[in-house]
Structure 1
């Protein structure tokens, strides 16, 4: 069992930024991924609230865990009180900080209650209709200034950090150097405080579009495909064994003494 005191704290993560230490971060969805990340020494894990559980916290070991609070009615979180209640619930399970892409007033309520909040700037997937869809943000001086201003508003309400997604590398570096917030870079270049990737991109089994910033280290897609073929083959063999009577064989059944069986038959015939 990992004790709370053996895990990094908000203060530790801030100290890493102060030292200029690069921070590694992965988005994971399974116990195996969380355990592998912990064994590999990854600094921060991002885990959506729907995947977060005591078992997931245990699998994450000494990793600092960011729990994603589901955005909007789909997650039944609408009001500040909804978000606060969910943050407190996940804190009880060992969440270390909380991703929240809701409004500033909701984020401020969390901050005012000492909840370490990670917001989102740049390309914000849940709000990208305002910035023209899934594309880079901050490529003009005006757009970059809007990202800067957003970060400053987050500073003012007391946020701990912000995901900084798909902005030019020079903009990301300038912002990261000029804010106390921990800037978690995803497609934001080497100047961000952290480098953040999805486990599915790292492992090579991304479904759908693979973003430019993704780097694949293993080809799990081929292995998953191989396993699916093996799964189908095994199921077909089982089907055939059942149809032909090969399964179950004597070693798969519970034996009974002949005398006891005869007594049983006599009993049900009487």
Structure 2
């Protein structure tokens, strides 16, 4: 089993090793990621708090995250983050304010911010599209990175930003950059398990590479499910289920005695 990376490891390996990162939603996905050698995992808080999680992924660097709208302001974010650390988080994701980042860092919580396309703040950058294609936007992303760095963040997720902008930012910050569709200038490459497995419904992000087609497999399984249910219904209606091999045989003498007792009870 590989040793779980530390913050110091991630910082030391910037530019020399590309880390693989996945968002996983289930214990099965966490266990599969562990066995496949995925080093960094983004996880729902509930999954991290499941006592079986560390058995499934003992060597993965786990970073739980939730929309800050679901958590609240800095003080609530701190309470949430400390709970995550108590349950074994190696870091926490925070897309909230710089003040929240600073408060978490002041309490020695390793915290990862977010720049570029931030889904919870997409209205400010024009919706779900690339951010940083203009000079003003590129400057904004860099200033946000520096503000998060100065507040104490050790990392930022940089999402759907032109790779040339990511490259330039990486040269001017000590942050560990987690690239989601922002190019190899990031220090980790991040995808969602749903996209990797091909089980995303609706529009698939441009940066998402599909390695399997679970959606087709699930569709096939669902067709088989319906067929199996139909065969069960047919067997019940025809009387072929339950057949003797699915039943518990009773002792003839016991059954006769029971029937005699019932007749007297009645």
Residue 152 of structure 1 aligns to a residue whose secondary structure is helix
Inter-partner Cα distance in structure 1 for 2:171 and 2:52: 36
Aligned counterparts of 1:197 and 1:124: Cα–Cα separation in 2:
15
Q: 1:223 Cα shift?
A: 1.4
Cα separation, 1, equivalents of 2:259 and 2:84: 58
1:71 shift after superposition:
2.4
Structure 2, gaps ≥5 residues long: none
Runs of 4+, deviation exceeding 4 Å = none
Which whole-Å CA distance do the structure 1 matches of 2:82 and 2:247 have between them? 50
2:142 aligned with 1:126: no
Mind listing any 5+ residue stretches in structure 1 that lack a counterpart?
Answer: none
Superposition deviation, residue 64 in structure 1: 0.8
Task: Name the structure 2 match of 1:252.
Answer: 246
Which among 17, 21, 27 is matched to residue 17 of structure 2?
A: 21
Query: Please, which moves more after superposition, 122-131 or 212-221?
Result: 212-221
Query: Quick check: 1:69–1:83 contact (8 Å CA) kept in 2?
Result: no
TM-score (norm 2): 0.92
Deviations 1:5-35 (A, max 9, x none): 9422222222221x52111111111222211
Match for 1:243 among 237, 241, 263?
237
Matches within 5 A, 1:29-44: 29-44=25-40
**Aligned residue pairs, count:** 263
| 2:54 corresponds to which of 53, 57, 62 | 57
CA-based RMSD of the aligned residues comes to: 1.8
- 268 and 84 in structure 1: CA distance in 2 versus 1, 3 angstrom threshold: farther
User: What's the TM-score once normalised by structure 1's chain length?
Assistant: 0.91
Secondary structure of 2:141 counterpart: helix
Q: Distance in 2 between matches of 1:249 and 1:70?
A: 53
